Amino acid sequence: MIKRIGYTVCWLIVITMIVLFGAASYFYNLAINRSDEAIKLYGTEEAVKAVSALEEEQERLQELTSWTESQDFEEVEIESDDGLTLSAVYLKNDAPIGKTVILAHGYKGSNEQLPEVTRYYYDKGYDILKPDARGHGKSEGDYIGMGWDDRNDMRKWIDYLIEEKNEKAIFLHGFSMGASTVLMTSGEDLPDQVKGIIADSGYTSVEEEMAHQLKHLYNLPSFPLIDITSKVTESKAGYSFDEASALNQVKKKKDDLPLFIIHGDKDELVPSEMAQRLYENAAGMRELWIIPGVGHTQGFLDEGEEYKRRLNGFIEEAMKQ
């Protein structure tokens, strides 16, 4: 009888582990493995509504599209530390002011995103680099780095701008996953040419963001599925969810490297409390703006004038360092 119970328990454990690893592989393929298919994320409804509202403004949208198509974007490439060909577009300003911005797009995006922000910076006189993150757009890569491996890629792009384009004052401005990318980059040994970092709607860590999505989409606890999915990711992509932490990276940021954290208080995709914790844990110079009534990455569109005013003020102060 005891032996039979023991066999039953063993089989239940085996079956449970098979189910859990199967589920973890499913979530890896859904969230981390490269795919051109859009996936459902909790909190994207407001962003979709905002895009739809923008699209209804046909005249303004057409004018923005015409402007974008008329610009002389140069396609450029670098090689990542692990041998991938990474792609970006570079726009040299006709009336440069000696500043450059690297714009980092969000999850499942590409360098075609952020046309409004691109035009804003160009009109201000900036040179602009817009990379495709690894696993996105024209960049190689079989998996999505979620900002972690991308921090090393960002460092390579910074070196490219310094060595190939002779850029002397570089700002990093990221949105959503791109925000977490620049936050994770902040903890690396960056050259003096990097003058400041702007992170709009970034998450604290891949582990916490995955747990947030799992809870609200599937009503499931993070343990043990997130832990097992992290192990699957580590074996296939080379990084774990817990090490991919913007929270830990901002603690290592140089004291004299200014950081501007922006977040909407109605963000359901990435909770705004993450921005608060990032600010509290960041070393040295930093600034926080929680925008009332604004959803995920919608600050630039919904509160454009105030966004630009604060952004300009941050950059002016950063250039004094």
- Is 294 found in the same domain as 226? no
Q: Which residue among 222, 238, 254 closes a domain? A: 238
Q: Which two tokens stand for residue 202?
A: 């970034």
> Are 166 and 255 in the same domain?
yes
Query: What was the pLDDT predicted at 11?
Result: 42
Residues 52 and 199 in one domain: yes
Would you state the pLDDT for residue 2?
A: 54
- One domain for residues 210 and 234: yes
Give the largest Cα separation in the chain, rounded. 85
Q: Quick one: pLDDT at residue 42?
A: 65
Q: Which of 89, 69, 301 is nearest to 200 (CA)?
A: 301
* Residues 48 and 166 both lie in one domain: yes
pTM for this predicted structure: 0.91
Q: Give residue 34's pLDDT.
A: 87
Place of tokens 């690893």: 21
Summarize pLDDT for 180-229 with one digit per residue, the tens.
999 999 999 999 999 999 999 999 999 999 999 989 877 778 778 899 99
What's the structural domain count of the chain? 2
Residue 24 is predicted with a pLDDT of: 60
Question: Are 71 and 211 found together in one domain?
Answer: no
- Residues 313, 292 share a domain: yes
Do 12 and 160 sit in the same domain of this protein? no
Give the domain extent around 213.
1-31+206-238
Q: Which residues of the chain have pLDDT under 70?
A: 1-24, 27, 36-40, 42-58
**Per residue, what are the HEC states of the chain?**
CHHHHHHHHHHHHHHHHHHHHHHHHHHHHHHCECCCCCCCCCCCHHHHHHHHHHHHCHHHHHHHHHHHHHCCCEEEEEECCCCCEEEEEEECCCCCCCCEEEEECCCCCCCCCCHHHHHHHHHCCCEEEEECCCCCCCCCCCECCCCHHHHHHHHHHHHHHHHHCCCCCEEEEEECHHHHHHHHHCCCCCCCCEEEEEEECCCCEHHHHHHHHHHHHHCCCCCCHHHHHHHHHHHHHCCCCCCCEHHHHHHCCCCCCCEEEEEECCCCCCCHHHHHHHHHHCCCCEEEEEECCCCCCCHHHHCHHHHHHHHHHHHHHHCCC
> How far is C-alpha 230 from the geometric centre of its chain's CA atoms?
19
Is there a single domain that holds both residue 12 and residue 136?
A: no
